[in-house]
Amino acid sequence: MRTYSLEDVRQVYMFYGRSPLIYRICSYLIFFGREDYLRRKAVESLNLRKGDRVLDLGCGMGYNFSYLEKHIGGGWKDCRHRLC
């Protein structure tokens, strides 16, 4: 099993951060066009309620946020700038 360094991870994030369209295209191909459906079902399976708190680690481009917000309501905080 290959071990990835922090630098490897940074390279991937920098690539997709500069090219969000490529990220969307790759996601579409990987999930056979069912990305939105799968994200929605994944969040629904968490059985979240209004006011619950969620820590989404490794959130990538943040495409789960809209699904999470529908279940827990507004008022979420984006902490990315403090973690990088």
Measured from the Cβ of residue 64, the count of other Cβ atoms closer than 10 Å reads: 16
Higher-pLDDT residue of 75 and 80 is 75
Instruction: Name the DSSP class of 61.
Output: T
Does 30 score more than 80 pLDDT?
yes
Single pTM value for the model: 0.65
Residues in the chain, total? 84
pLDDT above 90 as % of the chain: 20
Name, in order, each residue with C-beta under 8 angstroms of 55's C-beta and a sequence gap of 6 or more: none
Higher-pLDDT residue of 31 and 81 is 31
